[in-house]
């Protein structure tokens, strides 16, 4: 075997080409500029794929109440299925999901501020600063109500590290 052929064989079988292939795949799989953020994880039922247990996220704002959505009125966004009570709510969410989606994906902001990803319950909620928050229990909601800006700020700081602990 000639020296040139040995060198070419070494280049093709060493770790270099595989590293390049992996990097190209990662670049192609990543969202481009202007793509929706994939850092938001939403509390989802692993068996049904329903976000926030099938509750209508728009109803918190329009009805001032936690209302279950209908299986006939679903919308897929962010890799999960959202349910709605009526066509208007579904259309409003489709036009601006970032407005209606619960903050921290429905994880309890008090727990997130402590560095823990604890799913909130759709029946224990609050709208603060025009954003929907779900809580694990009424004590967490009361703690948040006492200092919504401080807890939200702390939760914002801890959210990236909490995301790393959540199952994909």
* Conformation bin of residue 142: beta by default, left when phi > 0, alpha when psi is -120 to 50: alpha
Write down the residue that tokens 């247990």 correspond to: 53
pLDDT, position 159: 96
pTM assigned to the model: 0.75
pLDDT, position 124: 98
**Mean pLDDT per 10-residue segment, the chain (168 residues):** 55 45 35 34 91 97 97 94 98 96 97 97 97 98 98 97 87
pLDDT, position 126: 98
pLDDT, position 78: 86
pLDDT, position 151: 98
Q: What are phi and psi of 13, to 5 degrees?
A: -110, -10
């Amino acid at each position: 075997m000639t020296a040139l052929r040995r060198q070419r064989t070494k280049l093709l079988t060493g770790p270099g080409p595989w590293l390049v292939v992996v990097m190209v795949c990662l670049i192609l799989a990543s969202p481009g500029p202007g793509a929706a953020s994939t850092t938001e994880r939403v509390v989802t039922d692993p068996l049904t794929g329903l976000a926030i247990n099938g509750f209508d996220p728009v109803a918190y704002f329009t009805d001032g109440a936690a209302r279950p959505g209908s299986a006939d009125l679903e919308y897929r966004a962010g890799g999960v299925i959202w349910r709605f009570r009526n066509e208007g709510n579904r259309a409003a969410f489709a036009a601006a999901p970032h407005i209606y989606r619960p903050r921290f994906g429905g994880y309890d902001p008090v727990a997130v501020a402590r560095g823990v990803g604890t799913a909130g319950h759709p029946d224990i909620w609050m709208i603060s600063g025009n954003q929907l928050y779900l809580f694990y229990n009424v004590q967490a909601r009361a703690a948040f109500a006492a200092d919504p800006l401080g807890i939200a700020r702390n939760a914002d700081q801890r959210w990236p590290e909490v995301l790393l602990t959540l199952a994909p």
